Amino acid sequence: MNKIWLHIIRVYIQLGLFFYYNKIIVKGQSSLPKNQPILFLSNHQNGLLDALLIATKTGRFSYFLTRAAVFKKPLVSWFLHSLNMRPVYRVRDGWNTITKNKSVFSNTVHLLHANNAVTIFPEGNHNLERRVRPLSKGFTRIILEFRLLYPNQAIQLIPIGLNYQDPKTMGSNVSVYFGEAILSKSYNHLNDFEATNRIKQDVFQSLTNLTTQIPLANYNTTLDSLNKLKVDFTNPKSVNDCILSQFKNCQTQAVKQSSLKVILKPIIYLLLCLPIFIWRHYIKPKIKEVEFLSTFRFAISITLVPLWLLLIVATVWFAFGFAPSLMFILTSLLLILAYNKA
């Protein structure tokens, strides 16, 4: 039953992401190993959307180690556990909770031994900065415990680079880059201290090649220059080459307002007036972390918007019959899709 539930949720999320983004670019997916233990290690910019993109683009069901703060409400905790999400505790959650990570990590080791896939965001938190931030060593504890218990088995460490053209905007583009696998057994000859440092270094280097890496020094100035050049942030290699060349070797893209989008905007706003009103006046003002802006907007898009459209469909069906209601829902979906893809 759990697999059926996960299949249903994944298909629904995939459909939601298809409507939410203009384009989702995936690179390196075909080389992902099957029926082997995999530890997906991704940069973390855009809240829950990072996890949803990985969950729908790997071709495998994955367990996610997620910050414990989002599991506080019982109903939310039940739902997240049903999606294979597991809490990881941090110092800010209280010193008394840190000891719980031992059992979380041990359970993760057993999941990997059973050839499951696990996803971790080794930066430890999310941030919209276009750079890979220093990695925490928590994920290396899983690798070290795994080699201690199962020295003859290897974990495939798969770095993932998530690249958003505009992480705060609906209808933008995003790319998912899967890097080359790093075998955990390649660190077996090192002691724990050396292995921890080498793993962090190798994963960090891989992630910087898979996503935009703006140096911390002069970060804002560099970002402003890239924005003025209108670079394609979904192509991290070209952006990093641009930075390294001091903005002399840069690939730019023509950005213009779509006339179709301008025409459709008032129609979409009229069609989705209630969900948009609730979003702007009741939900968006309460979001304290900008990294969760797109997460909550997406949540509204796949919950409140369908319910609102179904309510209108039911009303039209009751008043005018099946054919007009079917025409309404098909036309509405096409208009929403055209607006976001324009």
**287 three-state secondary structure:** coil
Q: Which residues make Cβ contacts (< 8 Å) with residue 320, sequence separation at least 6?
A: none
Going by pLDDT thresholds of 50, 70 and 90, the confidence category of residue 228 is very high
Tokens of 163: 């690249």
pLDDT computed for residue 81 by the predictor: 82
pLDDT computed for residue 272 by the predictor: 97
pLDDT computed for residue 232 by the predictor: 95
Local structure of residue 189 (DSSP, 8 states): T
Tokens of 289: 């972390």
What Cα–Cα distance (Å) separates residue 25 from each residue in 60, 161, 162, 163, 164?
A: 18, 11, 10, 9, 10
Q: Taking residues 194-202, what's their average pLDDT?
A: 96
pLDDT computed for residue 92 by the predictor: 62
What Cα–Cα distance (Å) separates residue 202 from each residue in 1, 111, 129, 190, 207?
A: 39, 23, 21, 14, 9
Q: Taking residues 316-328, what's their average pLDDT?
A: 96
| Residues 80, 85, 90, 95, CA torsion sign | positive
Residue of 305 and 32 predicted with greater confidence: 305
> What pTM, to 2 d.p., does this model score?
0.92
Tokens of 314: 């039911």
User: Distance between CA atoms of 79 and 66, rounded to whole angstroms?
Assistant: 13
Asked whether the predicted pLDDT for residue 276 surpasses 90, the reply is yes
Q: Which residues make Cβ contacts (< 8 Å) with residue 138, sequence separation at least 6?
A: 88, 101, 105, 120, 122, 124
What Cα–Cα distance (Å) separates residue 233 from each residue in 121, 149, 164, 250?
A: 20, 41, 6, 12
Q: Taking residues 259-269, what's their average pLDDT?
A: 93
Q: Taking residues 65-79, what's their average pLDDT?
A: 79
Q: Taking residues 220-246, what's their average pLDDT?
A: 95
Q: Taking residues 292-308, what's their average pLDDT?
A: 95
Tens-place pLDDT, residues 73-109: 788 788 888 888 888 876 565 556 666 778 888 999 9
pLDDT computed for residue 98 by the predictor: 63
Asked whether the predicted pLDDT for residue 24 surpasses 90, the reply is yes
Q: Taking residues 279-294, what's their average pLDDT?
A: 93
Q: Which of 19-33, 192-206, 255-269, 301-315 has the lowest mean pLDDT?
A: 255-269
Strand 156-164 and strand 85-88: the pairing is unpaired
Average pLDDT, the chain: 91
Asked whether the predicted pLDDT for residue 273 surpasses 60, the reply is yes
Tens-place pLDDT, residues 26-44: 999 888 888 899 999 999 9
Query: Is residue 239 classed exposed, middle or buried when 0-12, 13-18 and 19+ CB atoms within 10 A define those classes?
Result: buried
Tens-place pLDDT, residues 115-146: 999 999 999 888 999 999 999 988 999 999 99
Local structure of residue 249 (DSSP, 8 states): S
The DSSP H or E segment spanning 118 is: strand 117-120
What is the percentage of the chain residues whose pLDDT exceeds 70?
96
pLDDT computed for residue 71 by the predictor: 78
User: For the chain, what's the residue count?
Assistant: 342
CA 338 to chain centroid, in Å, comes to 24
| Residues 203, 205, 210, 212, CA torsion sign | positive
Q: Which of 63-72, 152-161, 166-175, 258-267 has the lowest mean pLDDT?
A: 63-72
Dihedrals φ, ψ of 26, to 5°?
-120, 130
Going by pLDDT thresholds of 50, 70 and 90, the confidence category of residue 336 is very high
**125 three-state secondary structure:** coil
pLDDT computed for residue 79 by the predictor: 81
